[in-house]
Each structure stands twice: as structure tokens, then as C-alpha cells.
Amino acid sequence: MTQKLQAIVIRSNDRKEKDKNILLFSIEQGKVWATLKGVKSPTAKMKIAQNPFCFGEFMLEDGKMGKIVTGFDAIETFHELGDDVDKYFEGTAMLEIVNAIDFSTQIEQAQVFVLLLKCLKSLCFGSVQPLYVLDKFLIELFAIVGSPLNVDKCACCASKVFDKLWIDYKDGSLVCSGCKGWGCEELSTTTLSALKVIKNTDLEKLSTVKLAQESENGLLRVLVRNFDARFERKLKMIGILS
């Protein structure tokens, strides 16, 4: 049976001499492994479909060893990401994040797909600082999976009057001094300010944002640690934190 999916290539690896396995991420089916036959041949028609970030319409059929890609129409390759090391690195980090998640519902899966596509477009074609797109992706991701980082009130007592906030890595919530427990980490003034700015700025307007390096590093460290705690998966984004 032929299956048609609009999907983004999350990762790929070698299979046999001329084949490639690719991990697709789609709204309809979530993450699906499929094989590109003979794609490493110089004259392969679907050669472009093996590249991470590639977004298009994939035709899949059942084979003896799993799904086989029998057709592909590119919608957007995002090949420009390979021309900028920072954009490529942050984009690769977003693909790794999606790869690490097991989605609980199809709605959650669809929302993350749309978020990923929007962030890749902003990263590839916008003038925004690449790191801010990754920050925005993680912040929006937490909201989608039910662990929003609410900067306006304590997640425990709902108080809106506080001088400082702590992040509770057990559930990803932000709490005030009266509600913080063991294992909570205080957010520095610069980190909290950066979180507020990125969270409250639309993706399309992130190009107007400029944070101090201390704020950038502090926010990303908190977001990555929160991801590790939420999904019990250690991200392999080597070099992403200074």
C-alpha cells in the first residue's frame, strides 16, 4: 500500500553500499524510518531527500525490511543552513530535540511539527540570531508538552508578587521563594530577563532582540537542563554551551 507523507528529514544513516535510511517526521505518522534505495549513486533521482532538514512529500511503500521511499517532491530543502555554521548547528540541535521526544498525542506531534517548520524557516531565511530561534523552539516546546515556563506568576501558589523565581526541574515549573523546594535552581536576574524577552517575542520579531552574552548562555543552559529533566534524555549538543 502506498502512503503519502509531508515530512522533514530528521536524520540519516548508511544502509548497504548505495542505500540510506532516513528518519522522517510528519504530522500524520510522527517519526517513521524509511529506506532510500540506491541514493548514494551519483545519478540518483532522489539524492536530495537524504539530507537532514529536507522538507517535502514522500511516497512510501511497505518492503520486506520496512518502508521504502518510492517517490519524493521537495517543498523546501533548507540547504542554505549548510552555509552558516551557527544556523546549521542550532538547526541540527532542533532536529536532535525532536528525535529525542516520544509524543503522547497526535495533536502534540502536529503542533511540534508546525513549530519545527516555522523555526527552520526563521533560522534559514530570517536575520535573527540563530541561538534565539533555538531558545524559542525549546520554550514553545515546553508549553506544547504541558510544562510551560510561566514568568508572570508562581506555578505553585499563583502569586504574581515576587522578586525572584526558581525553576523546579522535577516538573519544569517556575516557583517563588515561598514555594521552592529541594533541587530548585534560582534564575539569575539576567537569565529571567532573557527568558521573558524570548518568551514574549513572536518568532517573526526575534530579529529585533539583542541579549547580553551572559544572558544568552544562562538561558540556554537552563532550557537544555530542563529538557534533560523533562524527557530523561541527555542532549548531545556538544559545544552548544560555553
Residue-range domains of the chain with CATH: 2-76 (2.40.50.140), 84-231 (1.20.1440.120)
Digit-by-digit pLDDT tens for the chain (242 residues) are 789 999 999 999 887 778 899 999 999 899 999 999 987 777 788 889 999 999 999 999 988 878 999 999 999 999 999 999 999 999 999 999 999 999 989 999 999 999 999 999 999 999 999 999 999 999 999 999 999 999 999 999 999 998 899 999 999 999 999 999 988 999 999 999 999 999 999 999 999 999 998 899 899 999 999 999 988 777 765 445 44
Asked if residues 24 and 59 have their Cβ atoms less than 8 Å apart, the reply is no
CA 170 and chain centroid, separation: 21
CA distances for 240 relative to 65, 93, 127, 236, angstroms: 36, 9, 20, 9
Terminus-to-terminus CA distance in the chain, angstroms?
A: 49
Instruction: Tell if the pTM clears 0.85, that is, is over it.
Output: yes
Here the cell at position 50 is: 537524504
